[in-house]
Amino acid sequence: MITHKKKANGFEYIHVKNSVAEAKIALQGAHIFSYKTQEDLLWLSETSVFEQGTAIRGGIPLCWPAFGMNNPQLPQHGFARTLHFTLINTEETQDDTTTLTLRLCDNAQTHQLWDYSFELTLRITIAKTLTLELTTTNTDTKDFTITQAFHTYFAISDIQNIHIKGLENKPYLDALTQKQKMQKGTISFAQEFDAVYQNVDTTIELIDTDKTTAIQTQGSHSCVVWNPWIDKCARMSAMQSDAYRKFVCIESANAYDDFKILRPKESHTLTVTFTTL
């Protein structure tokens, strides 16, 4: 079942429920802010606001057409996360699979920020697994370059309980020191962590005490792992002071050297599937 809903202030979202999963997707940013089968996959800040023009804190913000400050002329993480998408298609093919497609096209506001014509679509498949396919098409007459990410906030039991497998022996940029390093062993957390992994080519596993989530990505060779820890968390918008304990971000990306140049009429799709093992 697909239901269009509105918060009291008019903020619009779509509620999806089928026989195996439930999800909520804001039209602003095509932002999935809840997805669950047995339990919630995604962390959502208790203090997040749902207001036009402000990014939701949690869920899966889309960073596009730039990750972080990869394009210094754009706002941090680009502009897609605060713009209104149009729902262009829905499919309920089986009772356990619902697919939504949302689209953002260039308009006067995007041309002010980034002077290119484009079509950006997000196809979301809500089933026992969650799959996102983000397709960028260059509808302009000149080339453009993008960086991007699914900035996924995973709900966890506690930051000290988890580790991340699949990035061992991968080079990474430590964004806190701007130094290039090599990952030794699995990742665990005892302080602020902000790293951009390169040459990523395998399934990543987020291992918690009672569940493991597999993250399979296509169309990308970079992955950002982030937790703000105590001090940065206290400084961040829409985050309670102990929120850092309850999430980790593992962001399937095309970031830094993994940028994409699209020629007129060319498309690129970044795909991610989350499976609870």
Binding residues (CB under 6 A) for ligand BG6: these are 68, 76-77, 151, 175, 194, 224, 226, 236, 251
Instruction: Give the nearer residue to ligand BG6 in terms of CB position, either 116 or 197.
Output: 197
Closest to ligand BG6 by CB, 16 or 255: 255
- Shortest approach of ligand BG6 to residue 148 CB, angstroms? 11
119 is catalytic: no
- For the chain, the distance separating the N- and C-terminal CA atoms, rounded to the nearest angstrom, is 26
In the complex, minimum distance from the CB of residue 51 to ligand BG6, in angstroms, rounded to a whole number: 15
Measured from the CB atom, the residue of 24 and 77 that comes closer to ligand BG6 is 77
Residue 90 CB, shortest distance to ligand BG6, in Å, is 28
SS3 132: strand
* Residue of 4, 151, 221, 266 marked active site: 151
Which residues are CB-contacts of 54 (< 8 A; sequence separation ≥ 6)? 82
Q: Which of 119, 251, 266, 268 is catalytic?
A: 251
Q: Is 151 a catalytic residue?
A: yes
Comparing CB distances to ligand BG6, the nearer of 31 and 151 is: 151
Using DSSP's 3-state secondary structure scheme, residue 158 falls into: coil
Write down the least CB distance from residue 117 to ligand BG6, Å: 26
Residue 189: C-alpha distances to residues 86, 100, 258 (Å): 38, 35, 25
Beta carbons of 22 and 1 less than 8 angstroms apart: no
The string of DSSP codes covering 22-50 is: EEEEETBTTEEEEEESSSBSB-B-TT---
Given a contact cutoff of 8 angstroms between Cβ atoms, the answer to whether 201 and 169 are in contact is no
Would you please indicate which residues are annotated as catalytic (active-site) residues? 151, 251
